[in-house]
Structure 1
């Protein structure tokens, strides 16, 4: 595989995943598509970090040439999203069906009734934090691949994959 082609492909794949991360994080800030939860501090800490917007979104978009910084930013978003997913949403919950018990992720029958307000926030958070984890995980792979191919091209030269055998014919004077 040509390192230049692979590097360009990995770099181009970062753009749509950065957009997905920014959109998913923006939606996490507005559960039930209402702004009042954000203004009243009823949004999870991990969502308000906006790592999907500034880390996996903007920094990855602006730092394609800085693959190490992009790897760090995508990794930060991946870990932050995993933490938000594991800890669960911040919501007004029923006293008997609260989400503060461990392993709420494995009790899907409790999701619809666990939070009174915002309605459906458990599934909302699970879907969007999962999207952030998948997209930032892909960004990690693409950034590492981009860095690896750039290093390989640097060490082996820009014509690394252009090792075609050509016939040299020399004209003999007649």
Structure 2
């Protein structure tokens, strides 16, 4: 496979992964698919998991991947950046994508480790309160489903956060791999040409 065709093969999954990351990050603002928690959080009452506000999926896994994906895709098109200079620039864009993926991965990992913000109580007699019951558990709550019932509201917030943050982590890992491959591909394209258009 020539370097130009490889760029196209890399760019298309990056578009999908960037879209998935953005959607997951936006959904995390609405636990139980309800807007009231975001509205209450905006008024100063913590209701949304702090790591969601880092916008790792939107900025890191989304925008910082989408921009490199567009340039990487252009390097595979005939008569449009499909040259050694374009491939050289794609190395820099792919490096920015790596940074974005690492940011998204870091934010989602922290979100999983610290758990969600919820209205919780770990014993029936205790008065429930808003907070992060798993913040000091080092992620141990993930292996003990009995602890998930501590969160009373929003309903199923642990599963909600677990599913979306895990998806963000997988997407970020794949983005990291694709961008790293493009850095190598861009180096070969810079040295040897893209072979996607006329001979240079």
Task: Give the TM-score range, shorter chain.
Answer: 0.7 to 0.9
Q: TM-score, normalised by structure 2?
A: 0.74
Match of 1:107 among 136, 144, 166: 144
**1:159, distance to aligned residue in structure 2 (A):** 4.1
State whether structure 2 residue 23 is matched by structure 1 residue 23. Answer: yes
Q: For 1:125-140, what aligned pairs fall within 5 Å after superposition?
A: 125-140=161-176
Deviates more, 1:47-56 or 1:28-37: 47-56
Deviates more, 1:95-104 or 1:71-80: 95-104
State whether structure 2 residue 60 is matched by structure 1 residue 55. Answer: yes
**1:60, distance to aligned residue in structure 2 (A):** 1.1
Q: Which runs of 5+ in 2 are unaligned?
A: 42-46, 72-92, 125-132
Q: TM-score, normalised by structure 1?
A: 0.84
State whether structure 2 residue 183 is matched by structure 1 residue 147. Answer: yes
CA RMSD of aligned residues (A): 1.8
Q: How many equivalent residue pairs? A: 159
Partners of 1:62 and 1:100 lie apart in 2 by 34
**1:53, distance to aligned residue in structure 2 (A):** 1.2
Partners of 2:60 and 2:115 lie apart in 1 by 21
**1:63, distance to aligned residue in structure 2 (A):** 2.6
Structure showing greater Rg = 1
State whether structure 2 residue 13 is matched by structure 1 residue 13. Answer: yes
Contact 1:7 / 1:145 at 8 angstroms: preserved in 2?
Answer: no
**1:22, distance to aligned residue in structure 2 (A):** 0.7
Match of 1:116 among 152, 155, 161: 152
**1:100, distance to aligned residue in structure 2 (A):** 4.1
**1:139, distance to aligned residue in structure 2 (A):** 0.6
Q: Which runs of 5+ in 1 are unaligned?
A: 161-174
Contact 2:2 / 2:195 at 8 angstroms: preserved in 1?
Answer: no
